[in-house]
Structure 1
Amino acid sequence: MNHTVAVVEDDPNIQDIVDAYLKREGYEVKVMESAEEAWDLFEQSPPDLWVLDLMLPGMDGYEFCKQVRQTSQVPIIIISAKDDEVDKILGLELGGDDYLTKPFSPRELIARVKRQLKRLEALQPIQSEDSTMESGKLALHLDDRLVHWKGEEIETTTKEFDMLQILVRQPNRAFSREELLMRVWGEDYFGSDRAVDDLVKRLRKKLPDLPLETVWGHGYRLKKEERSS
């Protein structure tokens, strides 16, 4: 399958390098200089993955990411000169799936692109098995990748949805941090398992009273609940 990758970056040198490396891997590449131009592409023919700079003229990458996430869960890899932890957290909370700080190795970017697309392909057959998964007051609508908690729709990032899907599919099972890291982020993830703790923290904030339990020294499990009548 030939994937299309959209690169939203206003630096011509980075454009050329990223474009060349992606094409060498066989991807179809769309290069844009602004978020406004990228939004036109999103509305007309959205790509399979975005490589998104944060500091753009006009609409910035944060706002673009936020708007895309309102209707789409397509993977977004953020590339930015901002290396402060708060910038990374904000980018991920707004819906980014990965964050790469400039200057970066083009090979590392390619590895992360491959990981995100591989994870996306692996999830698609799972999504087609059932249209809805439920656990107590939680409902996951797989076709549309929507989450309802206590009857209200809750906005989630790609990784938040993926973790919920894994936990709901096997309630009461204790998942180790390492397994969740591999299944949500992919086998080639370069970060630490603290990313799992941060993701759980965000889920608990968005879904108060969700029976997502800490298994001390191991990981997490979702306690099975009967759906309320």
Structure 2
Amino acid sequence: MPRSILIVDDDPHIRQLLVFAFGKAGLNTREAGDGEDALASATRDPPDLIVLDINMPRMDGLEVCRRLRAAGDIPILFLSSRDDEIDRVLGIELGGDDYVVKPFSPREVVARSMAILRRTAAHPPRAETVAGFRYGGLSIDGEGWAAHWMGQEVALTVTEFTILRTLASMPSRIFSRDQIIDRLHGPGFAITDRTIDSHVRNLRRKFADAGCADLIETRAGVGYRLGNCKEPVATP
């Protein structure tokens, strides 16, 4: 059965170009002209992938992504204006899989979308399941997809949790960015190093807000590994 793509953009010309390009690639498409319609369509009949513009009326693409990520893990490819770098980074931090900058080639959008679909169809090996893992003040429930700091749950996206679970699977090992990408998306998936850096930065911020200042250690030019996760020392 052909994969289904939800194309979300307030510009009907862009939607028409993408519908034609995806159709030539043998993929089914449907359209939404704003964020609210996109969210309703994706909730009613989840597509295999969403091509999602960031700047739209009624509800922007970042809010659509935020709400979808709270409920599931539909792959999302963002469309972004050239001057919206902050929004692109935020979109990745919210759990977007990739982005393409406007003006774009419809063939590039289709090629990147096909790469995401191949990854999701392949079901690549994930990090070893970490069940009942505890390290310093950090605890991870691999089966329940939950992470805690000192007993307090830290809300994470699926991507953030998978990165943390990957690092926790071998706490002393340094994982390169490419190795982390392989755990997330499968071998050969092309995303930039800064995408992983954004997810790691977001993980650090969330745990720092909860009181953990050393969740992830950076080894310059090599990659990341789990930090000491030291429990805070109680003052007398």
Tell me the TM-score range normalised by the shorter chain: 0.7 to 0.9
Instruction: Identify which range, 155-164 or 40-49, moves more after superposition.
Output: 155-164
Are the equivalent residues in 2 in contact too, given 1:83–1:101 (CA < 8 A)? no
Q: Deviations over 1:59-111 (max 9, x none)?
A: 22122122112111211111022533222222222332222111111122122
Question: Do structure 1's residue 216 and structure 2's residue 220 form an aligned pair?
Answer: yes
Cα distance, 1:168–1:222 mapped onto 2, change above 3 Å? same
Shift of residue 135 of structure 1? 4.2
Aligned residue runs from structure 1 range 54-203, under 5 A: 54-123=54-123, 126=126, 132=131, 134-136=133-135, 137-141=138-142, 145-184=145-184, 187-189=188-190, 191=192, 193-203=193-203
State the partner residue of 2:31.
31
* 3-state SS in 2 of match to 1:6: strand
Greater Rg by CA: 2
The alignment covers a number of residue pairs equal to: 224
Cα distance in 1, alignment partners of residues 26 and 146 from structure 2: 32
Cα distance in 2, alignment partners of residues 133 and 49 from structure 1: 33
Cα distance, 1:167–1:29 mapped onto 2, change above 3 Å? same
Cα distance in 1, alignment partners of residues 164 and 97 from structure 2: 15
Alpha-carbon RMSD across the aligned residues, in angstroms, is 3.1
Cα distance in 2, alignment partners of residues 146 and 199 from structure 1: 17
Shift of residue 6 of structure 1? 0.9
State the partner residue of 2:47.
47
Shift of residue 185 of structure 1? 5.6
Are the equivalent residues in 2 in contact too, given 1:172–1:222 (CA < 8 A)? yes
Cα distance, 1:147–1:81 mapped onto 2, change above 3 Å? same
Cα distance, 1:150–1:45 mapped onto 2, change above 3 Å? farther
TM-score for the superposition, normalised by structure 2: 0.78
Cα distance in 1, alignment partners of residues 95 and 123 from structure 2: 18
Give unmatched runs, 5+ long, in structure 1: none
Match of 1:189, as an amino acid? A
Cα distance, 1:39–1:26 mapped onto 2, change above 3 Å? same
Give unmatched runs, 5+ long, in structure 2: 230-236
Shift of residue 54 of structure 1? 1.7
TM-score for the superposition, normalised by structure 1: 0.80
Cα distance in 2, alignment partners of residues 63 and 85 from structure 1: 17
Cα distance, 1:168–1:190 mapped onto 2, change above 3 Å? closer
Match of 1:73, as an amino acid? D
Cα distance, 1:217–1:33 mapped onto 2, change above 3 Å? closer
Cα distance, 1:23–1:63 mapped onto 2, change above 3 Å? same
